[in-house]
């Protein structure tokens, strides 16, 4: 018995040493394609490369020819990129403002009565002038320059290049592989729809907002339960898992505004030049009528403009 025990003790260490090392198991990402560089950073979804038609076909019944949607332009997105899954939120912008000691700038254009007016005491911390916005609502009352300052800070903060999306990237991402007027449909959410499905996917000017806002133009014939901005991600996403692309808040893009796509780069690059002051704006908001809540709908503002339905989302280079 003692002899057997002695042999076992001599062999056991060798057997243990001969075992392969234990490798720690790494949990797979919670969601494929989701990136987040820090707790206070925007959640980013990887958008695949692809080709699409920027703009609208000439027979699109809601097309705004004054805004240069037609003729469309075939665009190639040759490399994947990451885009904010949601619009930049109040909490995320607050982290930047606190870190850089950036004071809120007033003179924000807000809804009043049946129109809009500038108020010197309104800014991103109090766009409605009542209770402070929730931390998970999109930040609004921010100019293009504010958005540029945010992406510059985020790039330094994370070591990755963040920026505003180009117009091509924005529309490609908003479409989510579709060619219809909206990524969730076509004529089922226009101004002639008896019952619109827009409220399942977007916070737009709808029946729940008409009584309070009284803008005087057509509304979506449904109720999305919010008069002004809603928490990000409150509605269904598109096929790229991006939320609020044509509702909640309009969004700044990198490009200088142009009245047509003639001469535009047929790739992901923004179209800009030194000295331009008008910047492109994409996506609808809680104040947007149905015909302008489309993937191809275009707008613009002076880059110093701050308005209570205007925010932004970011892109991160991969």
| Percent of the chain clearing pLDDT 90 (strictly above) | 81
Q: What's the length of the chain? A: 318
Assign residue 58 the CATH number of its domain. Answer: 3.90.1580.10
Q: What is residue 229's predicted lDDT score, i.e. its pLDDT?
A: 94
Nearest partner of 69 among 220, 282, 250, judged by Cα = 282
Pairing of strands 34-35, 44-47: antiparallel
Cα–Cα dist 95/158, whole Å: 13
In a domain, 163, yes or no: yes
Q: What mean pLDDT is predicted for residues 16-35?
A: 48
In a domain, 250, yes or no: yes
In a domain, 195, yes or no: yes
Cα–Cα dist 165/283, whole Å: 12
In a domain, 137, yes or no: yes
Collapsing DSSP to helix, strand or coil, 83 comes out as strand
Q: What is residue 43's predicted lDDT score, i.e. its pLDDT?
A: 97
Q: What mean pLDDT is predicted for residues 128-154?
A: 95
Q: What is residue 18's predicted lDDT score, i.e. its pLDDT?
A: 35
Cα–Cα dist 185/69, whole Å: 18
In a domain, 262, yes or no: yes
Cα–Cα dist 79/269, whole Å: 11
Helices 144-158 and 90-100: angle between axes, nearest 10 degrees: 70
CA quadruple 253, 255, 258, 263: dihedral, nearest 10: -130
In a domain, 18, yes or no: no
pTM score above 0.85: yes
In a domain, 24, yes or no: no
Note every long-range contact of 106-114, with CB atoms under 8 Å and residues 24 or more positions apart, other chains counting: 107/306, 108/141, 108/306, 108/307, 108/308, 109/305, 109/306, 109/307, 109/308, 110/141, 110/307, 110/308, 111/213, 111/215, 111/228, 111/287, 111/308, 111/309, 113/214, 114/213, 114/214, 114/215, 114/216
203-252: pLDDT as tens digits: 999 998 998 899 999 999 999 999 999 999 999 999 999 999 999 999 99
Q: What is residue 30's predicted lDDT score, i.e. its pLDDT?
A: 54
Q: Tokens for 182?
A: 């909206």
Question: Which residues are within 8 A (CB) of 189 and not within 5 positions of it... i.e. 6 or more apart?
Answer: 181, 182, 196, 197, 198, 220, 290, 293
Q: What is residue 25's predicted lDDT score, i.e. its pLDDT?
A: 37
Total domains in the chain come to 1
Full residue range of the structural domain in which residue 172 is found = 32-316
Q: Residue 66: which pLDDT band, with cuts at 50, 70 and 90?
A: confident
Q: What mean pLDDT is predicted for residues 57-80?
A: 92
Collapsing DSSP to helix, strand or coil, 81 comes out as strand
78-133: pLDDT as tens digits: 999 999 999 999 999 999 999 999 999 989 999 987 889 999 999 999 998 878 99
163-184: pLDDT as tens digits: 999 999 999 999 999 999 999 9
Q: What mean pLDDT is predicted for residues 61-76?
A: 91
Nearest partner of 305 among 113, 118, 67, 82, judged by Cα = 118
41-64: pLDDT as tens digits: 999 999 999 999 999 998 898 998
In a domain, 5, yes or no: no
Q: What mean pLDDT is predicted for residues 297-309?
A: 97
Please answer whether residues 45 and 34 qualify as being in contact, where contact means their C-beta atoms are separated by less than 8 angstroms. Answer: yes
């Amino acid at each position: 018995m003692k002899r057997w025990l002695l042999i076992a003790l001599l062999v056991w260490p060798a057997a243990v040493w001969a075992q392969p090392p234990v490798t720690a198991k790494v949990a797979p990402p919670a969601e494929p394609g989701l990136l987040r560089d820090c707790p206070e950073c925007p959640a980013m979804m990887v958008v695949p490369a692809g080709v699409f038609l920027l703009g609208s076909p000439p027979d699109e019944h809601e097309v705004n020819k004054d805004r240069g949607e037609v003729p469309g332009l075939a665009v190639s997105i040759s490399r994947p990129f990451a885009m904010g899954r949601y619009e930049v939120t109040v909490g995320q912008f607050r982290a930047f403002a606190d870190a850089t000691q950036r004071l809120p700038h007033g003179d924000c254009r807000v809804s009043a009565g049946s129109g809009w007016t500038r108020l010197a005491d309104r800014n991103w911390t109090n766009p409605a002038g009542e209770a402070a916005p929730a931390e998970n609502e999109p930040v609004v009352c921010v100019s293009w320059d504010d958005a540029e300052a945010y992406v510059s800070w985020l790039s330094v903060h994370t070591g990755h290049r963040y920026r505003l999306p180009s117009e091509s990237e924005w529309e490609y991402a908003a479409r989510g592989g579709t060619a219809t007027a909206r990524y969730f449909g076509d004529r089922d959410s226009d101004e002639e729809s008896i019952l619109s499905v827009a409220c399942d996917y977007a916070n737009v000017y709808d029946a729940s907002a008409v009584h309070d806002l009284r803008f005087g133009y057509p509304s979506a014939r449904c109720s999305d339960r919010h008069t002004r901005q809603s928490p990000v991600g409150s509605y269904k996403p598109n096929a790229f898992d991006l939320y609020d692309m044509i509702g909640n808040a309009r969004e700044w893009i990198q490009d200088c505004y142009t009245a047509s796509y003639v001469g535009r780069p047929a790739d992901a690059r923004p179209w800009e030049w030194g000295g331009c002051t008008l910047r492109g704006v994409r996506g609808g908001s809680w104040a947007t009528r149905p015909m302008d809540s489309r993937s191809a709908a275009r707008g613009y503002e002076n880059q110093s403009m701050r308005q209570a339905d205007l925010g932004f989302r970011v892109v991160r280079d991969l």
